[in-house]
Amino acid sequence: MSLQAILFDFDGTLVDSEALHYQSWMRVLEPWRVSYDELTFCGEFSGVPTLQAAATLNQRHGLNVHAEALTYQKNQFFVEVARTLQPKLMPYAQEVLHQAREHFTLALVTGSTRAEALPVLEFYKLDKLFKYFIYKDDVVHAKPHPEPYCKALIKLSLKANQAIAIEDTYTGLSSARAAGLRTIVVPNHHSEQQDFSRASFQVDDLLAAWEQVKKLA
């Protein structure tokens, strides 16, 4: 069947938001005087679900706090930080989204909450380009579980071979692959050392991803 939809990840794929996530986590960890440099932290936790990261940090540093409480606090800090410091878009994000919308149905499939992602999308006027949104709030199991992408396919009334996912991390790739989707991975400087051997394609930037999509179509 012909390609009809592109399913985009958000953090690290469309927006360079890892620095904001890093800053939010450092605020969470500050009372315990735990700190990481940005490259080390993002290299380990880029694409990792917030609850999973919270559990890891809790165990590693003996924080003795429920992971759910750490997750809630981190998400609240992120929303606060994003109000004053909007993350930059990834290279070619605007151009690719506007061009892709002319030919395909677009959906956003993100591990971020609606409160985290929507203000950024609205700031850059990208929210109107997507037909459907799957936020972390909308699923029981976040990436790397296939549920986010399976739910997007259901909303789009499409089979997996009628869509393609664009991701930047091993976690996102695993989710998309488990849902049966072809995948284009666009690594960033935080995720470039991750294992992308199961990706259908790996490219350097979103413009190259768009060129690959056009070849498939």
Percentage of the chain exceeding pLDDT 90: 87
- Alpha carbon distances (Å) from 183 to 6, 75, 124, 177, 206: 10, 28, 25, 7, 13
At 76 the pLDDT is: 93
Q: What is the pLDDT of residues 182-194, one digit of tens each?
A: 999 999 988 999 9
Domain ranges of the chain: 5-16+88-216, 18-84
Mean pLDDT of the chain: 95
Q: Within a 10 A sphere around the Cβ of 85, how many other Cβ atoms?
A: 11
- Fold entry, domain 5-16+88-216: Rossmann fold (3.40.50)
Sign of the CA dihedral running 39, 45, 50, 53: negative
Q: What is the pLDDT of residues 60-100, one digit of tens each?
A: 999 999 999 999 999 999 988 888 888 899 999 999 999 99
43-52, 79-88, 141-150, 205-214: the lowest-pLDDT one? 79-88
Task: Please say whether the beta carbons of 3 and 164 come within 8 A.
Answer: yes
> Which residues face 167 on adjacent strands?
185
3-state secondary structure 89-112: ECCCHHHHHHHHHCCCEEEEECCC
Classify 131 as helix, strand or coil: coil
**Between residues 78 and 178, which one has the greater pLDDT?**
178
Mean pLDDT of 199-213: 98
For residue 92, give every residue at least 6 positions away whose Cβ sits within 8 Å of its Cβ, in sequence order, or none: 205, 206, 207, 210
Q: Say what the pTM is.
A: 0.90
At 186 the pLDDT is: 98
- Alpha carbon distances (Å) from 68 to 55, 104, 115, 147: 8, 37, 17, 20
Q: What is the pLDDT of residues 105-163, one digit of tens each?
A: 999 999 999 988 999 999 999 999 999 999 999 999 999 999 999 999 999 999 999 99
Give the integer Cα–Cα distance in Å for 182 and 163.
7
Structure token pair of residue 19: 């620095």
At 109 the pLDDT is: 98
